[in-house]
Amino acid sequence: MGTLSLHPGIDVRDAPLKEIKVTSSRRFIASFNVVNTTKRDAGKYRCMIRTEGGVGISNYAELVVKEPPVPIAPPQLASVGATYLWIQLNANSINGDGPTVAREVEYRTASGSWNDRQPVDSTSYKIGHLDPDTEYEISVLLTRPGEGGTGSPGPALRTRTKCADPMRGPRKLEVVEVKSRQITIRWEPFGYNVTRCHSYNLTVHYCYQVGGQEQVREEVSWDTENSHPQHTITNLSPYTNVSVKLILMNPEGRKESQELIVQTDEDLPGAVPTESIQGSTFEEKIFLQWREPTQTYGVITLYEITYKAVSSFDPEIDLSNQSGRVSKLGNETHFLFFGLYPGTTYSFTIRASTAKGFGPPATNQFTTKISAPSMPAYELETPLNQTDNTATVMLNSQYYFAAEFPADSLQAVQPFTIGDNKTYNGYWNTPLLPYKSYRIYFQAASRANGETKIDCVQVATKGAATPKPVPEPEKQTDHTVKIAGVIAGILLFVIIFLGVVLVMKKRKLAEKRKETMSSTRQEMTVMVNSMDRSYAEQGTNCDEAFSFMDTHNLNGRSVSSPSSFTMKTNTLSTSVPNSYYPDPFVPTAILVPINDETHTMASDTSSLVQSHTYKKREPADVPYQTGQLHPAIRVADLLQHITQMKCAEGYGFKEEYESFFEGQSAPWDSAKKDENRMKNRYGNIIAYDHSRVRLQTIEGDTNSDYINGNYIDGYHRPNHYIATQGPMQETIYDFWRMVWHENTASIIMVTNLVEVGRVKCCKYWPDDTEIYKDIKVTLIETELLAEYVIRTFAVEKRGVHEIREIRQFHFTGWPDHGVPYHATGLLGFVRQVKSKSPPSAGPLVVHCSAGAGRTGCFIVIDIMLDMAEREGVVDIYNCVRELRSRRVNMVQTEEQYVFIHDAILEACLCGDTSVPASQVRSLYYDMNKLDPQTNSSQIKEEFRTLNMVTPTLRVEDCSIALLPRNHEKNRCMDILPPDRCLPFLITIDGESSNYINAALMDSYKQPSAFIVTQHPLPNTVKDFWRLVLDYHCTSVVMLNDVDPAQLCPQYWPENGVHRHGPIQVEFVSADLEEDIISRIFRIYNAARPQDGYRMVQQFQFLGWPMYRDTPVSKRSFLKLIRQVDKWQEEYNGGEGRTVVHCLNGGGRSGTFCAISIVCEMLRHQRTVDVFHAVKTLRNNKPNMVDLLDQYKFCYEVALEYLNSG
């Protein structure tokens, strides 16, 4: 066969032959593949065949050319996500020929090859499983019918996916370096697979406490590409806990690392506050006190005190040896400097030291008091010359300042004649009486800075020269005048002489104390260091008891008389050689006649000013004694012991208590005197003679020393307590005399004034100021708490220039009968007394009504707490027996005896769980750490202890709730209020009973401040509003949802008035703020319109869904607490009660009350004690805060409170 060619018109185009099909001998059909055609190739073609035999031409066939479709525009982006792109194909406008029978989407990363084709059957398409924050190119391909109908990809859409939430937070956060003011941390490097975004920030978030305020800071770390990334935080406070975490953030989210707590290193401390450096000055001593630096920057380990004398009233004193340096341990902020010069100014420089060294110095100056001049030792020898009318003595010029004489007139020893009938500076040196005997004294006085000190010495005596003449009758009047003069002279001398003797004796005692001071201080240090840390001394012990009568007021010249003459001169401003006493120096000669007659003498105490300090108590050398028949019990065995004693049949608490001696066991003759009977409240509870408190007698009345009180020994503290009766009207003055005389700083009152209609104690304190004869008592402050009151008084005594601060701790939670239901409140009361009683003060005065039962309970508990802490044992039996040997019938009932055991057990099990506000964050962090050995944490153990000590309600405790008529008023029969806490309804409402399922609860400061109840049932809505009205409630807190399916109806009106029997509830207003709906209602009793109405605000909290154990937000729950507190304070001055309800009046309501109590603690004491708050609530209702997560939430809201400032 020859060549076949296609001829489109006049052109010739060769095409490969595809197929020839012969149809007859003269005809055949030829098929050609026409390739690489374009639109221009379209047209009519015919086939030409060439053979040897000739050329043949076919008829024309038409070639139709179709171009595959291609979109004109790129696809459009409809939406974008982190792992998907949603596009519109935008393929309606095309280049090429249709129809389009198929669509495909092709995409790839911007820098990669084409990844995949996906068929599309709609005009939009979602491309999924993409990488976050990655740029992609997307094209659309179209296909028309026929082979080769798929066109090339259309224009590409170039776009980027969003970032995704980081996969996780940074890991392996650890400390690289710690310095005093900076820390360096590092973490595990991470890449795109963690960040899931190319644009991200790594923020270092850290917080720490400065001056009680929490500082929160954030810094961006740029060291993220390093293989060992790290960051340094600077400008921190030394020795501070810093909480650090890393926050990985991109535009779509954030992930945090675990928190790391780092303590910065110590640094040099700040300066001791200059204003805190205080000095109590004496003649030869200065007692220096100071406070630790405001910025300690570590643990203060040492104080260095440098001192030196800078000036003196005596310019001739050599001050060069009056300097030195002493060191004190960091926990001692006082020191007694002795052996100083009187009237000398000393400069004291104090530096504090940490492990890093000493900080800057702080300096203050103090001046010792001046001293009376030292008098020479005169030998009582015969005067140089004496006649019947005169006596001549030698005056030592070294100690004499002549005011009326020339300055140089006494430079040498010279005689001075007494009785020369001359006048010296206004004083007549009258002739001596020959029939009188005289003692001759030389007196000198020092004055400086408004202070005067005197001293005198006997220089001679003169005997009578002639017998005493008998006066004639007509001269009796003159003789009487002379006798009066003699008496006046004697009195003048005695007053001055006694003052001098007292000062000299004090000096000798002070010198004797100096010799033993070093050993005494060592003994005290051993004793203090061995004391229990939880009851550490709150004050500062002085190294000596500074009770010197060291100041005498010289109110003018001495009065002359015919029998006693004083030579007194005005003063010159010069110094006294060889003495430490400031000028001016006033020498005085005193002549005292010696009479055979006896005179009654009274001393004028107004001239003595006594500086008050608390008397120091020395510890006993032997521990508290335990008995052999009743040995002490180990604290670890106490629970088992109490359980056995309560259950024992043969020998239990009943038999043990009955073994105590009952009634009088020692003489009490003084108490039985007729003069003292009226001073006893009860005839059978009076004071034993051997241990009774003896008051100072008044004006010679020997019976005025009696008061019905006895000394009781404490733990290692003799006479640490005075157990006494509650004062009667007749004994109030004696009571305050005792408090003053015994140097008491704390009065403990364990009774109410009136109980069961009987007067138990007279109100012996004022509401403002009261004067009890020579004692003035002023009320300074009253601190009211739920179960006790602390009153602070300023007490003064006439003639004594000091004011003492005395506190009265009044426990009000003891019921009229029996003992408290639980010991929690009393234990907190005991701890308050311990913490606020100066350790160096006199005895604690403890009283109830008789001063035996409750008083004994308090004292035994106080002693046993000390013993348990010190020795790990308790000896309650022998302690009670010892108390009864000092005062009759201490611990009066078996019930009180058992209560003491229960109280000590609770104290030992629970311990002191209060935490200072500054330590809450670090402590809570530690409490949540899991112990790998026990697979538990401290907070779990604390909650387990709480469950263990929570009292279980018995059937008889809830007898009223279990009455048949009240069953339908209880939502759950296993959640019932005990009888003792029920708020009985008062408003009368037909046949309705006075019962409602509710319980009264104390807040931190107010008794029965909360009423916890269930959500009202449909049949108890009217009882609910009766409760609100009867108990003066001004707030209602709702912590659950309205749910008719659970019998939780809406019990309030949304508008208008609802009537519930006589009570009408009127809607006033409503407001929504975040998670809190607040509604205000006006409620009143229509049957008693004279009572007026009350405004009540309901707070419905929306942020606690029913499926959650705790609220969603700590911040919003704290806001709820604050809104309720604000309304309570604004509307009713904080006096109204708050009704709190959830579904069953349990865990949620308890959580609200507990957090409210904790916030009150923080406001008033800057402490947190979640355990005590919940334990107090559970004492009334065991299901308060019934989940561990709710218990933790209480701590977390406390932290939120601290963070919010």
Q: Can you tell me the mean pLDDT for 916-923?
A: 92
Assign 805 a pLDDT band (cuts: 50, 70, 90).
Answer: very high
- Mean pLDDT along residues 48-54: 78
Nearest by Cα to 1161 from 1111, 1121, 1190, 1127: 1121
pLDDT at 298 over 50: yes
Band of pLDDT at residue 313, cut at 50, 70 and 90: confident
* Mean pLDDT estimate for the chain: 81
For residue 560, is pLDDT > 60? Answer: no
Reported confidence tier of residue 210, pLDDT bands at 50, 70, 90: confident
Which residue, among 294, 300, 248, has the nearest Cα to 270 in the 3D structure? 294
Name the nearest CA neighbour of 281 among 340, 351, 362: 340
pLDDT at 845 over 60: yes
Task: Could you list the beta-strand ranges (E) of 670-745.
Answer: 692-694, 706-714, 717-724
Task: Provide the 10 A C-beta neighbour count for residue 995.
Answer: 20
Give Cβ neighbours of residue 337 (< 8 Å, ≥ 6 apart).
285, 286, 287, 288, 307, 326, 346
Which H helix or E strand runs over 1083?
strand 1076-1085
How confident is the model over 59-117, as pLDDT tens digits?
888 888 888 899 999 999 999 999 999 999 888 888 888 888 899 999 998 887 776 78
Which distant-in-sequence residues (6+ apart) come within 8 Å of 928 by Cβ? Answer: 937, 938, 939, 1192
| Residues 603-641: tens digit of each pLDDT | 332 222 233 333 333 433 333 444 446 889 999 999 999
Task: Among 224-238, 284-298, 583-597, name the one with the lowest average pLDDT.
Answer: 583-597
Beta bridge partners of 438: 462, 593
Query: Lowest mean pLDDT: which of 152-156, 226-230, 236-240?
Result: 226-230
- pLDDT digits over 498-545, tens only? 444 434 443 443 343 333 333 333 333 333 233 333 333 333 333 333
The pLDDT confidence band at residue 325, using thresholds 50, 70 and 90, is very high
pLDDT band at 742 (very low <50, low <70, confident <90, very high): very high
Please check whether residue 220 is in contact with residue 165, taking contact to mean a CB–CB distance below 8 angstroms.
no
Report d(CA 903, CA 822) in Å as an integer.
8
Residues recognised as catalytic: 848, 1142
**What is d(CA 559, CA 561) in angstroms, rounded to the nearest whole number?**
7
Q: How do residues 949-969 score in pLDDT, each as one tens digit?
A: 998 899 999 999 999 999 999
The residues facing 806 across adjacent strands are 793
Q: Print burial letters for 1026-1039: b (CB count within 10 Å at least 16), e (below 16).
A: bbbbbbebbbbbbb
What is the pLDDT at residue 1051?
95
Instruction: Name the pLDDT band for 221 (thresholds 50, 70, 90).
Output: confident
| CA 893 to the chain's CA centroid | 36
What is the Cα 667 distance to its own chain's centre? Answer: 47
Output the pLDDT for position 595. Answer: 44
Q: Residue 206 pairs with which residues in a beta bridge?
A: 217, 244
CB atoms within 10 A of CB 991: 5
Greatest mean pLDDT among 500-504, 562-566, 813-817, 1082-1086 lies in: 1082-1086
